[in-house]
Amino acid sequence: MSHSRSLSYFFAYVPTLLCLVGFSLGGRWAALNLVFVVVFLGLAEWLLPQSRSNEESPDSDIPKLILWLSLPATLLVLGSLLWAAATGTVQGWHLVLAALSAGFHGGTVSIVAAHEFIHRPDRSSVAAGNFLLLLQANPYFFVDHLRVHHRYVGTRRDHATARYGEGFYVFLLRSLWGQLSEAVQLEAEAARKQGRLPYGLYNYVVRQIVVFVVLLALCAWALGWLAAAAWLLSALTANVLLEYTNYLEHYGLVRPDDARVAYRTSWQSDTWFSRFLLYDLSRHSDHHVHGARPYYRLRSMEDVPVLPGGYAALLIPALFPPLWFRLLHPRIPKNSG
């Protein structure tokens, strides 16, 4: 077995390098990662061929190391953003661009790595995933993704499944509120069963919110309100990207409530950049049927819905519902579930 697949995942940290360089140079360079993802990757994914190889990645320490690098990468980018804001290295609208660049890093590196971590069986991985989600101000994903999304994907019970004909903006609001409210209630029920306060710190969602607010307040006190505002904008951007990912992963694909999750309930994309920038998240059909399978062993499946482009390529079309519907609707199988 070759190590080439494993080594290709190092590409995931190009956004890290671009953020660090951009924030240190300041000015327009602060938008370096934003331009890289939206413009360069968006165009490249329309032009370059698919990478459908199912080459087995050896069970070595390389893919595990690559995943754990997401923690220092996230801390470096966030720290660099806060320092640039506090010292005035990046100012005005350039600071907004820097926060958006950091948010794209959070959405493509931090939250995607967190997704992989929370699917692992060991406590240290789950803790790492929750830490990454905390830094991105996400209190609901850990609870809803594992206990609702993977169980009810493709049904109306799942808030993170985009419905046929539903535009991104409508989905964004419905999905965010649905996942957050359901996660709060699930944790409240678990707390009641333990004889604890349902909305106290035993509730994971409440605890994540409280800890993030405290960290944000400490940031404002130590580094100034501009640094705190940049962090908050970055986190909001990362979570919008998370919901965009949810939107295209299952858009318009349904299954009966009593049917098992099938490969056809998720969209697949094998563009090289989506695969190796996002730890093969784009091989989503295989992931939903085999949730415990490590990212570096996910397979490209036959006879599944295939996206017309990669995750970066479809970002702009998703913002224009008529264009999105025109691209996706002809590809939706009549019996998608």
112-137 confidence digits (pLDDT tens): 999 999 999 999 999 999 999 999 99
Give the separation between CA 309 and CA 273, rounded to whole angstroms: 11
- The pTM for the full model equals 0.95
CA distance 254 to 260: 11
pLDDT class of 337 with cuts at 50, 70, 90: very low
Residue 2 has pLDDT above 80, yes or no: no
Give the other-Cβ count within 10 Å of 189's Cβ: 12
End-to-end CA distance of the chain: give it in Å, rounded: 34
Percent of the chain with pLDDT over 70: 98
Longest dimension (CA), the chain: 57
pLDDT band at 335 (very low <50, low <70, confident <90, very high): low
Whose CA is closest to 48, among 322, 305, 277? 277
